[in-house]
Structure 1
């Protein structure tokens, strides 16, 4: 018997249809077992399609799920109707009812945003490249173009790889220090020449610096919690040939 889809929500987004989903509640098997929604994975296409339908129906019944071709960029697109072909971008915004904006992750940070008063929502995929490049800033600007106000925007950062699980080398840390020396606070000393990076805290910092005053962090580690989440890094460390992707969804 397949378990119901597990939906994680955040207080600041109360009143807005949203959810951070993991691997619980899907039909995929093997290394993709659970709610794998990755079109680009090597999972059975029919299983992925069923999982995407289950995910969308669990958060926003009757809505059309819209996702992008994610490329670890800072690009954000405004969605007015479903795409014929997914654009290359890493964030979406809309003010149109009936659309469920979805972001796929497997360690990167999913960010859901809403200005409830304006009826404007956004979703961003914040891997380290996108986060450093300003994907959340692009999302906020695109929301403002639809009538949102950043002082009213609430945001939540969903399950992602935690600092304890995210080891990086010195060159990685130097990229962030070169952008802003204060970014050193997001890195803890690791073994010789390595650091532990707090992606979730960095993304929260970028949101706060942009003027978003209500930001929730779920504090859930995708790498450490195999039963609930897919993880690219965990699969890589195990030498597995592929990995599943989870989805985070928001809609008006």
Structure 2
């Protein structure tokens, strides 16, 4: 059974952050793996994507991206799965369209301006986050008629600070971009730090003028029963990993 994680701030908008529960995949991808780029059985992925969409907005058309850890945002259209644009955020004002981003530790962000009828979905890995992918999504929403003063945002399951160890060079990259970024790093093992990417993305959203930012505080790495995790799979030496999806749309 699919049990979406929902945000109070988006209560009036069809949306959900999905985990691995309720799918048909087996083995390393067991559960609701929706990653077209994974090595999972294609038929299982297609069925999982169908189930995911029906759990959030029955009858809607699911639209996703070929994610590349960029800071690029696009307006969603009915492109085929094999012709998905290379980008990491998408926006729509079209009823009946369900937009989604895939994650496996990176940060999923869902945004909505209810009054304007404009929604957005963002995949923010560290490269996209520091590059401004959330800013790009907000700009695209404004171009579609949204007002950033009305936009609300929710951050779904992602790797938590306790699970996200980085090195000195990583910290330095963020500190050089803005000295204030040091607050998102806690001391870890010698020469290592723990990065709060959820907090960083929330701060970027707030700094862009988003007045309400909700964080679900769910750690993908630590909760194997509910979430896929790229870093967990890597630490175990596993050859592949599943992806979960965050979805938002407008009723038809």
Aligned ranges 1:48-59 → 2 under 5 Å: 48-59=45-56
| DSSP-derived class of the 1:121 partner | strand
CA distance in 1, matches of 2:210, 2:19: 26
**Residue 60 of structure 1 aligns with which residue?**
57
How far does the alpha carbon of each residue in 1:38-63 deviate from its partner, in whole angstroms, 9 at most, with x for none? 00100000000000000000001000
Select which of 101, 104, 110 maps to 1:103.
101
Q: How far off is 1:233 after superposition?
A: 0.2
Q: Please say if 1:82 is aligned against 2:117.
A: no
Q: Which runs of 4+ in 1 moved over 6 A?
A: none
User: Normalising by the residue count of structure 1, what TM-score does the alignment of the two structures yield?
Assistant: 0.98
Q: How far off is 1:14 after superposition?
A: 1.2
| DSSP-derived class of the 1:7 partner | coil
Structure 2: runs of 5 or more not aligned: none
Q: Please say if 1:166 is aligned against 2:168.
A: no
**Residue 26 of structure 2 aligns with which residue?**
29
CA distance in 2, matches of 1:28, 1:191: 37
| DSSP-derived class of the 2:91 partner | strand
How far does the alpha carbon of each residue in 1:167-219 deviate from its partner, in whole angstroms, 9 at most, with x for none? 00000000100100000000000111110000000000000000001110000
CA distance in 1, matches of 2:229, 2:217: 15
How far does the alpha carbon of each residue in 1:133-191 deviate from its partner, in whole angstroms, 9 at most, with x for none? 00000000000001100000000000000000000000000010010000000000011
CA distance in 2, matches of 1:99, 1:218: 24
**Residue 154 of structure 1 aligns with which residue?**
152
How many equivalent pairs are there? 248
Select which of 181, 184, 187 maps to 1:186.
184
Q: How far off is 1:6 after superposition?
A: 1.5
Aligned ranges 1:13-28 → 2 under 5 Å: 13-28=10-25
| DSSP-derived class of the 1:9 partner | coil
**Residue 141 of structure 1 aligns with which residue?**
139
**Residue 221 of structure 1 aligns with which residue?**
219
Structure 1: runs of 5 or more not aligned: none
CA distance in 1, matches of 2:11, 2:159: 24
CA root-mean-square deviation? 0.5
CA distance in 2, matches of 1:12, 1:213: 11
| DSSP-derived class of the 2:219 partner | coil
**Residue 127 of structure 2 aligns with which residue?**
129
